[in-house]
Structure 1
């Protein structure tokens, strides 16, 4: 068994190699049901040396990455809690794709230390895998921020996010098996999941990037707000940018 929705954004978002160095950054869902020899071999082949786990404490299990950790992969817990009073209220009010994008920024703003830790881990040598539970929401907005740092155009960032839609059936099957109690709550009508959260709509990522631009002047401004220093940004670009010029030049960013 291997990771669901595992991919290198460079493969599809940048097949010509204009912005991203292949093998620097990967994304996926969490392991279903947990880590195993097949997943460890998959990561070894891809050159992954660091895993950034974006899930909240209640979502993670001690043995989730036991096999890969024993194989020498370091696991960094950058916990972004998916619910809080403010996030729960925003989820209840969510009805549109743009509302999901606003929810992403609210979730990122709620966890500046986790965002900082994740970006610092992404700048480490070797391949780095970002994942949350589904590999769609927290993984999606952090991948978007990192791709924007490399100057990847907004339309390609949005397209990379939307590709997760093709894997959602498999992802939801894995989540249902792993979280049977939560599924029972959903079936009994006590857990309401807004329609946009069940999809990977392009409009959500478009809205997220536009909000980052309008509120913070772009990705670098938002990451600085989270405590990410210029040296970390430079280190990530030096590692993951396709060319030396990109490694030192500011990213294009997204402005409103």
Structure 2
């Protein structure tokens, strides 16, 4: 009887918590809300309003940083999201170092955005933090910011990025794969462009998209405060560490500039750059948009 009562209490608690998650401020950390130890940048992509008085549906699609390390308690809490698919945008090496730790039934799909790129991934850049003097020589004086902006342009132009994002968005247009999450290492760069591109296609205003992107600073920088301070104390330029672990408007603006320069509009980027035609784009809108309550 005690066991049954305990199970019933857990189920009631989970139902109440799941309901609370649907009422979080758009862009708020789900990782913090459900008490996960390692995924502070886990967020629902839903809740944002479009310029046509529609709202992005909650509880279908999430963005995140890496799911490692995850305790058994973390994995149990993650089941609240009822995830079916985990889209991992990292490199093979990144996955080897930190494989995702997910509930058993979640299908893991690896989409290597940077397979064809020369840009260093976040994990490689982080390695330089152990040698502040070398980091200053290689990345200091604004060189890292230039490097990062070029990397964001490659999210649009790189063949492997186009293949990865094509597969991601086409897969997200299949309801049988939902709810789903997509992520990279810190959940801000490769993940940031994926979220920004989809929200823009759905009609979310640019400033709202930018605000969602910038919230990565809120959820990531506190976790890396000690690392940033140690790097600066060792003689490293503080701005280097902040650039590696945080985001700036100009990074995402570089990706949008590349998209507009090459394709003109977000719709053309999806159709001509990713091979996702108008009908498939409309399927994404039908799945992820609903009438806004205030429009009724």
TM range (shorter): 0.7 to 0.9
- Structure 1: gaps spanning 5 or more residues: 177-182, 245-256
**What residue in structure 1 maps to residue 275 of structure 2?**
227
Shift in Å at residue 99 of structure 1? 6.8
Secondary structure of residue in 1 paired with 2:57: coil
**What residue in structure 1 maps to residue 254 of structure 2?**
207
- Structure 2: gaps spanning 5 or more residues: 1-35, 121-137
Can you list the C-alpha shifts for 1:85-139, whole angstroms capped at 9, x where unaligned? 3x35xx9696586874443121342221111111122223222211000000000
Question: CA-atom RMSD, angstroms?
Answer: 3.6
Question: For 1:233 and 1:127, how far apart are their aligned partners in 2?
Answer: 18
Question: For 2:171 and 2:74, how far apart are their aligned partners in 1?
Answer: 20
TM-score by length of 1: 0.73
Can you list the C-alpha shifts for 1:229-249, whole angstroms capped at 9, x where unaligned? 4443222222111249xxxxx
Work out whether residues 148 and 154 of structure 1, in 8 Å CA contact, stay in contact via their aligned partners in 2: yes
State which of 162, 168, 187 in structure 1 corresponds to 2:214: 162
State which of 76, 79, 83 in structure 2 corresponds to 1:48: 83
State which of 84, 92, 115 in structure 1 corresponds to 2:117: 84
Q: Which moved more, 1:103-112 or 1:125-134?
A: 103-112
Are the structure 2 counterparts of residues 199 and 227 from structure 1 closer, same or farther at C-alpha, using a change threshold of 3 Å? same
Shift in Å at residue 82 of structure 1? 7.3
Secondary structure of residue in 2 paired with 1:79: coil
**What residue in structure 1 maps to residue 287 of structure 2?**
239
**What residue in structure 1 maps to residue 174 of structure 2?**
124
Pairs within 5 Å for 1:164-183: 164-170=216-222, 172=224
TM-score by length of 2: 0.64
Can you list the C-alpha shifts for 1:45-77, whole angstroms capped at 9, x where unaligned? 223221110001100039833542x1x211111
Question: For 2:235 and 2:281, how far apart are their aligned partners in 1?
Answer: 46
**What residue in structure 1 maps to residue 58 of structure 2?**
22
Q: Determine which structure has greater relative contact order: mean sequence separation of CA pairs < 8 Å that are 6+ residues apart, divided by chain length.
A: 1
Is 2:81 the partner of 1:31? Answer: no
Shift in Å at residue 197 of structure 1? 3.8
Secondary structure of residue in 1 paired with 2:290: coil
State which of 73, 84, 106 in structure 2 corresponds to 1:73: 106
Q: Whose radius of gyration is greater, 1 or 2?
A: 2
Question: For 1:201 and 1:122, how far apart are their aligned partners in 2?
Answer: 27
Are the structure 2 counterparts of residues 83 and 173 from structure 1 closer, same or farther at C-alpha, using a change threshold of 3 Å? farther
Secondary structure of residue in 2 paired with 1:60: helix
